[in-house]
Structure 1
Amino acid sequence: MNDFLAARSQMALSLGFHIVFSCIGMVMPFFMAVAHFLYIRTGNDIYKNITRAWSKGVAIFFATGAVSGTVLSFELGLLWPEFMKHAGPIFGMPFSLEGTAFFIEAIALGFFLYGWGRFNQWFHWITGVVVGISGLVSGILVVAANAWMNSPAGFDFVNGQYLNIDPIKAMFNDAWFSQALHMCIAAFAATGFAVAGIHALMILRRRNIAFHTTAFRIPALFACIAAVLQPLSGDISAKDVARRQPAKLAAMEAHFKTEAASPLVIGGIPDPVAKEVKYGVEIPGLLSFMVYSDFHTPVKGLDQIPENDQPPVAITHYAFQIMVGLGMIMLGIALCYFVALIRKKSWLRMPWLLRLFVIATPMGFIAVEAGWTVTEVGRQPWIINGVMRTADAVTPMPGIAYSFYIFTAVYISLSLIVTFLLYRQIRMVPEIYDIQTPSL
């Protein structure tokens, strides 16, 4: 493995690991705050127990996310010094503000964890809400920095120099809103289905039925609402990508040839040599309609993009198909759940509905990982789209491959530790709430 590939692999591993904790840190505090609010309003101790159980999970993921996020911040400078040399002064503001949001989140979480019986109950609840809001803001700010890499703004690039720097314009670049919206909704869907799936599994196993049934409802509702909204945000993102990064869109869709009534390809195996997709299902004109709201307008294909500026087609296309496919499955589960809530109350007592949520437990996070693969791999060969190539930003320091191996071992160890802590936390749910309930 050469140093360039090792640097990219280490960054991909770190991002892939950290994004799971980021999503949970953005969303789980809101589940916790809703349960806490219901406890204050109803006095039902099950809601209190749910709140305290979830708050311990939030603490676990906060600590792990803080470690993985700190590693990422160092890796930006160590692995990509040329990038940070020029980009740091331009897009450094969202990272600085993210640090402020992180400190607020840490303080609020400390108040919440140790505030039981010490604070006014509504002040205590507000500290939990602040944890959620600051975590969400933190995530949005990081996404804004990443969006700048896809849509660079806030500077003039003249003769290799970065001039007239405007950090505010850089932070609020053309891509930040669509990326932040898509990421936030994805975080709610992924975390919601994961948490709901775990509680659904416990219900099916007949463990602490009242506790898990009550806990199931909160993340399930959040997840299903997010799953319905996600295709809408995806449409906004796709139209934005078509306008700013046509090469990425062409790779996502394995769209090799520019033509009128551009077809949408579902599935298939891209063949970059033959410039075709084998075994895919083509729907004529649908890609043109999705991008331009017209069935005949040509969508720019890879044939109009220089080969050395084209992203890896196969990886981008497969990742995009995985993301969309899992999104559609989660949308189907969400629609079933809403039908059950509104029209078919009897479905709420059916084990098959719970099994659907159990099956969906990992789907949201797999879709998130696939989506970030599309975002990052689809931008290649650029680290700053159209301005700086990734190969020009990597560190000249040798031995990066060994660093990649070490970090891989560290992240695997952290994953095992977090899994053990969560398993132990789930097993510690008190048996006092093991009351049979007839429905969800």
Structure 2
Amino acid sequence: MTFGGAMELDPLILSRIQFAFVVCFHAIFPVFTIGLASFIAALEALSLKTGNPLWQRLSKFWIQVFAVVFGMGVVSGIVMSFQFGTNWSNFAYATANFFGPILSYEVVTAFFLEAGFLGVLLFGRDKVPQGVHLFAAIMVAVGTFISAFWILSANSLLHTPDGITVENGLYYVDSWRDAIFNPSFKFRFLHMGIAAFLTAAFVVAGVSAWYLMNKREVEANKKALSMSLWMILLLAPTQVVVGDFHGVNTLKHQPMKVAAIEGHWETGTGIPLLLFAIPDKEAQENHFEIGIPKLGSLILTHDWEGEVKGLKEVAPEDQPPVIIVFWAFRVMVGLGTLMVLFGLAGLFLRRKQRYLECRPFLNGLRMMSFAPFIAVLAGWIVTEVGRAPWLIYEQMRHAEGLTPSLTGGMALFSLTGYIFVYAMIFSAGVFYLMSVLRGGLETANAEQIDSDVEKAQRPISAANANLDGGL
């Protein structure tokens, strides 16, 4: 995008900004609903097993939250796919033999499953047996993971293409197994799955902490907070281990992405772990470096003297935007470290249940309920920007996948439209979601409370009627 006597709009840059905006907007919804669906299924199972009404009260409330967020995710996700035809038609045409079936499988195996059983989950509590309602909750949770499976498989192929060949500019599948289960898929799927559970756990913990601080539905929210803290304690350190395996895999298949993550320019051994730096792509160096000697090699290669390739291995035009990748990764890692610390703090405060009354800890959980979303977005930025300038790693550049007839004006118009529409969706969704959160378990279970009161009043009414008749 340049400015001279007249403004010239670059359709490639605008299309990349548009796709990045739409993907980031959409990603925050499924990463929450995947984890929350499993939490709801667990609540339904506990309700059926124990008969304790508190579990059902919690489930009713969080189902309301799930319905709002799921709806926002569906709307933003469906619209997102249109861009393949409008902005990236060359890419869509070239990869149709793989992406067409994969996206169809996602719809057939996941979306229909979720949509079908979601109706039972939302409206069938008093219309089907409790076991059937639990089965619907489980199917919705399974559907969210199936959807993530196909989407991450398709996205992973862009990073580590395998099982495909290119003939006359078109991609053909030689091995569906190798293409679906490409080299980075299992690490990325596991990493995202854990991130989804952590997101739900921190949101549940933050909301429950807020209710406890305001003395609302204390017993039910004690249970929800306890469950979420155990989940955080278990999964936050696990995510660190999975992230390490993912990093080693990325070093093997996308060394330039790792070099950008580390801000590492020269190939060498015993590289430091940079805690702070300002990468300068134009000068091909860093400014104001602060690092720990040799720790970078140890983390990446598990060897103090391990060799790591630098960004200068490729031409500057083939290097990712280093400063974006470098700092997005540190945001993700920093927030991940905070998650581990909160899990450990929750364990320390378990003694005499101090975690239920420690206001600094509860306030911290409230603030941390936003952290997983920021961490997920930072991780997506590392993943996608780190692949640049490749649309399919080392096979197709972004410019090659762009729609040939797309003009800068058309791209700007669609980008503006997406921003406007998504702003409306987000504003309406957040407004309704906040009303649900303000209402709390009391509002979510109002009908049940009225029903219980009515049942309790029936014997009294009958006794009064008999008394009147006797008089």
Partner residue, 1:180:
189
Partner residue, 2:36:
28
- State whether structure 2 residue 118 is matched by structure 1 residue 113: no
Partner residue, 1:292:
301
The 2-side partners of 1:164 and 1:216 are apart by 47
- State whether structure 2 residue 426 is matched by structure 1 residue 415: yes
* Contact 1:190–1:223 (Cα < 8 Å) also in 2: no
Partner residue, 2:18:
10
How has the CA–CA distance of structure 1 residues 105 and 212 changed in structure 2, closer, same or farther, with 3 Å as cutoff?
same
Q: CA deviation at 1:160?
A: 4.1
Partner residue, 2:51:
43
Q: How does 1:11-410 map to 2 (within 5 A)?
A: 11-100=19-108, 101-157=110-166, 160-163=169-172, 165-341=174-350, 345-395=353-403, 396-398=405-407, 399-410=410-421
Q: CA offsets per residue over residues 150-184 of structure 1, 9 Å max, x none?
A: 01112123564534543332111111101111111
How has the CA–CA distance of structure 1 residues 28 and 113 changed in structure 2, closer, same or farther, with 3 Å as cutoff?
same
* Contact 1:91–1:167 (Cα < 8 Å) also in 2: no
* Contact 2:278–2:289 (Cα < 8 Å) also in 1: yes
The 2-side partners of 1:140 and 1:176 are apart by 9
The 1-side partners of 2:274 and 2:61 are apart by 45
Classify the secondary structure of the residue corresponding to 2:297: helix
- Amino acid in the other structure paired with 1:201: W
* Contact 1:267–1:321 (Cα < 8 Å) also in 2: no
TM-score (norm 1): 0.94
Q: CA deviation at 1:208?
A: 3.1
- State whether structure 2 residue 436 is matched by structure 1 residue 425: yes
Partner residue, 2:449:
none
Gaps of at least 5 residues in structure 2 are: 1-8, 447-471
The 1-side partners of 2:430 and 2:305 are apart by 51
How has the CA–CA distance of structure 1 residues 368 and 430 changed in structure 2, closer, same or farther, with 3 Å as cutoff?
closer
TM-score (norm 2): 0.88
How has the CA–CA distance of structure 1 residues 10 and 164 changed in structure 2, closer, same or farther, with 3 Å as cutoff?
closer
How has the CA–CA distance of structure 1 residues 96 and 430 changed in structure 2, closer, same or farther, with 3 Å as cutoff?
closer
- Amino acid in the other structure paired with 1:222: M
Q: How many residues align?
A: 433
The 2-side partners of 1:36 and 1:243 are apart by 43
The 2-side partners of 1:221 and 1:76 are apart by 41
The 2-side partners of 1:348 and 1:203 are apart by 7
The 2-side partners of 1:54 and 1:376 are apart by 32
* Contact 2:157–2:182 (Cα < 8 Å) also in 1: yes
The 1-side partners of 2:352 and 2:282 are apart by 52
Overall identity of the aligned pairs, in %: 32
* Contact 1:258–1:304 (Cα < 8 Å) also in 2: yes
How has the CA–CA distance of structure 1 residues 25 and 256 changed in structure 2, closer, same or farther, with 3 Å as cutoff?
same
- Across the aligned residues of Structure 1 and Structure 2, the Cα RMSD in angstroms comes to 1.9
